Amino acid sequence: MNAPIEFYFDLSSPYGYLAAQKIDALAAKHGRTVDWHPILLGVMFRATGMAPLTEVPMKGEYSKRDFLRSARFHGLSFRMPSRFPIPTQAAARIMLWVREQDPARAVRIAKAMFHAYFADDVDISDPDAATTTAAREGVDAAAARAAVDDPVVKDALRREVETALARGVFGSPFVIVDGEPFWGLDRFDQIDRWLATGGF
């Protein structure tokens, strides 16, 4: 029984969204499962001194073009949200709160959050919008809304991000396969070969 692949993402990350549409199939191709870990890129940016892609001169304009082109290249859906980037604490807390009880449903919620933000232009930084999105996946709306402000859930997210940082995760998407770190959707070809061969 091989260990799960670890998949780290911020729910406001364009390449994270694209990667989220591919990671399960990539893992399944090699008989692996995926552990989904929400992170907060703002915390990573403070640790590295990096900034959101779209706020970097020149690179910002290029990135907006590359998000769309990369989505087309991979045959994936993507639409640039009206507000970008956004803080993703509310959405990530709901996902973690569900993960405690039902990891498979938590993955469906993460995908629903990504889709709400990058396909339907829903601002999931708003706790009520995040709650509505989660409720469509069958969780109790009032309980999900309460989880956003629950100190225990807040602490769980803080620990999730700290653990990711301690493991060297500094961007999104970030994948760890048997200890080997891969940053970016554009490393999925390397992940594919790594899984097939056990390393190269």
Residues 11-40 within binding reach of a second copy (CB under 8 A): none
* Min CB(165)–a second copy separation in Å: 8
* C-beta of 69 vs 159, nearer to a second copy: 69
* Residue nearer to a second copy on the CB measure, 130 or 176: 176
Residue 65 found at the interface with a second copy (CB under 8 A): yes
Regarding 190 and contact with a second copy (CB under 8 A), the answer is: yes
What are all long-range contacts of 73-79, with beta carbons under 8 Å and residues at least 24 apart? 74/18, 74/21, 74/22, 74/185, 76/18, 76/21, 76/22, 77/21, 77/118, 77/119, 78/14, 78/17, 78/18, 78/118, 78/119, 79/118, 79/119, 79/121
Site for a second copy contains 80 (CB under 8 A): no
State the Cα–Cα distance between residues 108 and 134, nearest whole angstrom.
Answer: 9
The DSSP symbol for 187 reads: G
Site string for a second copy, 153-182 (x = CB under 8 A): ------------x--x-xx---------x-
Q: From the list 28, 159, 189, 198, which residue makes contact with a second copy (rule: CB under 8 A)?
A: 189
Q: Closest distance between a second copy and the C-beta of residue 105, in Å?
A: 32
Ranges of H-type helices in the chain:
14-20, 23-29, 41-48, 59-74, 89-101, 103-118, 127-135, 141-148, 151-166, 188-197
Nearer to a second copy, 132 or 190 (CB): 190
Q: Which is nearer to a second copy, 47 or 141 (CB)?
A: 47
Only one of the segments 15-23, 30-38, 68-76, 111-119 lies at the binding site for a second copy (rule: CB under 8 A); that segment is 68-76
- CA dist 183 and 154 (Å) reads 26
Told to check if 42 binds a second copy by CB under 8 A, we report: no
Which residues sit at the interface with a second copy, rule CB under 8 A?
A: 44, 47-51, 56-59, 61-62, 65-66, 69-70, 72-73, 165, 168, 170-171, 181, 183-184, 186-187, 189-190, 193, 200
